[in-house]
C-alpha cells in the first residue's frame, strides 16, 4: 500500500491519523464541557460556540 505519508485524495494519511487521535483524545473533554454547560443552563449553540473557540485556540497554539 505504501508509506503513511502517501497522499489520499489530497490529504496525507499522517494528517488523518493525527486528526483521528485528537478526536478520540478530546472526546471526554467534549462530553464534560457540554454536560457542564447544559447543567448551567446555557443554550446548546452557546456551548458549541465556546467549545469551537477553545479548539481553535488549541489549533492556533500548535
pTM of the full predicted structure? Answer: 0.56
Select the more confidently predicted residue: 46 or 60. 46
Angle at 53 between CA 57 and CA 27, to 5 degrees: 90
Element (H, E) at 12: strand 11-12
Q: Is 17 left (phi over 0), alpha (psi -120 to 50) or beta?
A: alpha
Q: Give dist(CA 62, CA 53) in Å, integer.
A: 15
pLDDT of residue 40: 93
For the chain, the domains span: 25-62
pLDDT in tens, 15-35: 767 777 877 888 888 888 888
Amino acid at each position: 500500500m505504501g508509506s503513511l505519508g502517501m497522499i489520499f485524495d489530497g490529504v496525507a494519511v499522517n494528517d488523518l491519523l493525527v486528526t483521528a487521535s485528537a478526536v478520540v483524545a478530546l472526546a471526554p473533554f467534549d462530553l464534560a464541557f457540554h454536560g457542564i454547560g447544559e447543567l448551567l443552563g446555557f443554550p446548546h449553540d452557546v456551548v458549541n460556540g465556546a467549545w469551537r473557540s477553545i479548539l481553535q485556540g488549541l489549533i492556533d497554539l500548535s
